[in-house]
Structure 1
Amino acid sequence: MSDGFLSQEEIDALLRGEPVAASPSPAGQDLSDIEKDALGEIGNISMGTAATTLSVLLGRRVSITTPKVSITSLNEIKRQYPLPYLVIEVGYTQGLLGTNILAVREQDALIIADLMMGGDGTNPPTELNELYMSAVSESMNQMMGSTATSISTMFKKKVDIAPPKVNLLDFAVDPNIDSIVSGDDSLVRVSFRMEVEDLIDSELMQILPINVAREMVENLLNAVQAPTAAAVAPKAAPKPTAEPQPAYAAAQPAPQPKPQSVQNVAVQPVQFAALKPAGMPGVDANIGLIMDVPLQITVELGRTRKLIRDILELTPGSVVELDKLAGEPVDVLVNGKLIAKGEVVVIDENFGVRITDIITPLERASHLQ
C-alpha cells in the first residue's frame, strides 16, 4: 500500500519473521513503498499520542490523522507553501541520530497560543509576540516529548530528545528552514491533517532527512521481527536415548501384550477448597534490595488552578487561595503519590508534620491518575 499504512499481508509477514521484499523505487525516488508505509505507521501512532497531549493542554478535542509520506525538497516545499510557518526543530539525543522538523502554520499557532493563554481561540492575536511564542513553544515541547515516548515504545528502546527549538519563518522569503536541510536535497515529508474542534482544520508537516527516515524504518522493523526470532529458529534434532539394536533383532518375534483385567473404580465428584485471598510472596524478602533508594517527600498545603494571565499578574503581597480550609490536614506525598495526612507542628522554630493518618492501599489506588 502507499497511503501511509502497512498492508495486512505485510504486517502478517513481519509478525511471522519473514523478510518483506521492498518494492522497486521509481526513478528519482529514494525510499521504497515499504519504507514509506513504515514511516506512515510511525507517524500515525506517534502523532496520535501528540494529539492527546495537545488536547489536554488546550482543553479541546484535537485530532491529528491521515499521514501522507512523500519525497520532496526544501525548494519544492517553499514553492508549495509560501506562508509563514512555526518551525520546531527536534534533535534526538538517545536512540536515534539526527534531527527532524515539525512545521505548523502561523495562523494555527496563533490559535493554539490564544487557547494556552485562556482565550477561546475565536479572536487570536495578530502576531506571535514573545509571550505568545513562549506559550505555543511549551505546547510543542509537550507534544514532542510525548512523541518521543511513543517512539520508544514502538522501537523497544529508549529514545530521547533535546529541548525543541522554535522559530517563526516565512517560507516565501527565508532561504533555509534549518541548517540540516537546504536546496534540492531529497527530504521526506509526512503530512498530517490537524483538527482542533471548529477552530483549526489544517495541515501539519513533519520533515525528515533521508538518513533519519531510514534509521526509523530500520528500528521499527527490528522491533517487530525481534520477538519472532526464536519462533522461526529450527529445533535441534533429539538425541537418541538408547544404543542402536543389532540387525538380527528385527528377525525376532515382537512380544505380545499381556491382557489386563479391568477393575471397577469408584468415581466421586471433585471438591475444591474454598478460595482465600493470598498474600504477595517474596515482597518482604526482596524489599531489602531497595531500602537505600532515596525518595522525595512533599507536604502539600493545597492546590489551585489559574490561567497564565493570572499568574503573570502576581506581585509581592498577592494572596493565592488554595482549595483547602485553614486547619484541615495537610497531604504527605512520596514521589508525588499521596501516602498520609498530617498536621503542621513547630519544633525549635522549624516546621514539621505530625502524621495523623496513613492512606490505605485502596485509597491510594483511588488517587492514581
Structure 2
Amino acid sequence: MYKLPLRNVSRTARLVHPRAPIAAAAGSWSALRYASTKTMTVREALNSAIAEELDRDDDVFVIGEEVAQYNGAYKVTKGLLDRFGERRVVDTPITEYGFTGLAVGAALKGLKPIVEFMSFNFSMQAIDHVVNSAAKTHYMSGGTQKCQMVFRGPNGAAVGVAAQHSQDFSPWYGSIPGLKVLVPYSAEDARGLLKAAIRDPNPVVFLENELLYNETFEVSEEALSPDFTLPFKAKVEREGKDISIVTYTRNVQFSLEAAKILEKDYGVSAEVINLRSIRPLDVDALIKSVKKTNHLITVESTFPSFGVGSEIVAQIMESEAFDHLDAPVMRVTGADVPTPYAKELEDFAFPDAPTIVKAVKSVLSIE
C-alpha cells in the first residue's frame, strides 16, 4: 500500500485560523438558477441547489455558524438570508452540539434542516446527535418517525490547517446504518446530489472538499433544471480497459491526471470511477469495471486503516469480481500520521497524480 505520496498539486494557501471567518475566493455567484451558463464552480452549484430547494419546499431551512449575515464561512450560503429571511437561514452561536441537536429535533417534528458544519472535524462535537439520534430514530421507532435532514460542509484536508482540522470522515459516517453519505466531485455532482439529499427521507451526510469550491466545471443543460437530481450511484468519469481506479472527491481530479500520464507514457488505458456515494456504495459498478479491466486500485485521502478502500477491497473479494482479478488490489491512501502543519510535510501526506501512476505501474508490473 502506498501511504507517502510525492507531492500534492493545485493547492491554494490559506493563512487564517481555521475557526476564523474565511474570505471567499475570487469571483461572484448568485443564489439564482444559472439558466444560460454552461460552466459553474462547485460553490455556485451548492449555492444554487440550496436556493432552489428553499424555494421548492417551505419546510427546508439552513442552520449553522455564520450561514446568514456572513453569507457562510466559505460563501456557500451567499445571498440566502437576503432572499429567504431569518426564519429560513439561521445563524447560531459556536456550539455544534447545540444547533445540531436543535436541528435534529426540528427534523423529528417534520421540518427538513440543512445543517452546515464549518468543518466536519467540528461535527465530532455533535456526533451523538448525528449517529445516535438522526441515524437511529427511524429504525428504533419501527418506521414511524422520520428524520429528514442534511449535514453538510467541508471534509478532509485543506491547506495548513493541521491535524485537528484535516480528517476525512467518509469511513466514520459510512459505517453507520441509517445514514446516507455522499461525496461530490464536480459542480454537476454537487448540484444533483445535494438536491437529491435534501429531498431524501433519510438523514444524509454530505461531505464536500474545500479545495474544490472554486473549481469550475462544465455542466449540462439538464443539470441547470430545478428538477435535476442525481442517483446515489458511481459515475465512470473515464472509460478504460487495463485497470480500474476507484476514488472520490478531489482525488478524482488526480486520478484523471494520472490516467492521462499512463496513456501517454505507458500506453495504459485506465478507467476512473467517481464513487459519488460512500453509503450506499455502488458495488455493482465496481464489479462491472473489474470484470472489464481485471485490475483495481483505490485512491483516498484518509488514513490507511479501516478506510473506504478497505471496504472496497472486501466487497470485491467477496463478490464474483474476485475471479476476474489478475493481480491483488492496491490501496493508495494518506499517510498513517496526524496531518502535518508544515507545508513540506503536508505535501507528502496525501495522494497526487504521480503517486497514483506509481501504484498503477506496480499493479500492472510495469518497470
Shorter-chain TM-score above 0.5: no
Larger of the two Rg values belongs to structure: 1
TM-score range, shorter chain: under 0.3
The TM-score, its normalising length taken from structure 2, stands at: 0.22
Higher RCO, 1 or 2 (CA under 8 Å, sep at least 6)?
2
Structure with bigger strand share is: 1
